[in-house]
């Protein structure tokens, strides 16, 4: 099963962990758990988009004003949630921020699980 590990942290703290993070990603590749990963640009480059009453609205910056922001992600393959949590716990940014672990929904398994649009 695939799990998305969302890296939530103070942007300033992540730069100190680049080498350690890259080494851990190499470990995940070798173990067969690694699927994909990307880091995000600074939260100051974010644009929040919403539609209200059929009208587009954009706002510079993130959706929420918080100390910790989503800084990137790792998509891993793990047999269960416990293994995904172990992978997240060993990820260097978990020591300085948080790593949210979320199962990835498999829409190919059953089309009935697709969300229905409203309206």
Task: Give me the chain's average pLDDT, please.
Answer: 85
Task: Look at residue 40 in the predicted model and tell me its pLDDT.
Answer: 87
Is pLDDT above 70 for 15? no
42 against 51, higher pLDDT? 51
Q: 73 in a domain, yes or no? A: yes
Burial (CB count <10 Å: 0-12, 13-18, 19+), residue 68:
middle
Is pLDDT above 60 for 117? no
Burial (CB count <10 Å: 0-12, 13-18, 19+), residue 71:
buried
Number of domains present in the structure of the chain: 1
DSSP conformation letters of 62-74: -SS--SSEEEEEE
How much of the chain is helix, strand and coil, in % rounded to 5?
A: 35, 35, 30
Report yes or no: 86 and 99 within 8 Å, Cβ to Cβ. Answer: no
CATH (domain of 46):
3.30.70.1060
Q: Which helix (H) or strand (E) holds 35?
A: strand 34-39
Provide the residue range defining the domain that includes 27: 2-106
Alpha carbon distance 59, 43 (integer Å): 12
Q: 112 in a domain, yes or no? A: no
Q: 116 in a domain, yes or no? A: no
pTM over 0.95: no
């Amino acid at each position: 099963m695939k799990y998305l590990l969302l890296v939530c942290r103070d942007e300033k703290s992540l730069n100190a962990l680049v080498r350690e993070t890259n080494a851990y990603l190499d470990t995940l590749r070798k173990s067969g758990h690694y699927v994909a990963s990307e880091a995000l640009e600074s939260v100051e480059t974010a644009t929040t988009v919403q539609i209200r009453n059929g009208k587009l609205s954009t706002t510079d910056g993130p959706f929420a004003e918080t100390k910790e922001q989503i800084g990137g992600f790792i998509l891993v393959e793990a047999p269960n949630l416990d293994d995904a949590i172990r992978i997240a716990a060993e990820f260097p940014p978990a020591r300085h921020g948080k790593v949210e672990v979320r199962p990835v929904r498999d829409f190919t398994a059953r089309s009935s699980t697709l969300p229905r649009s409203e309206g």
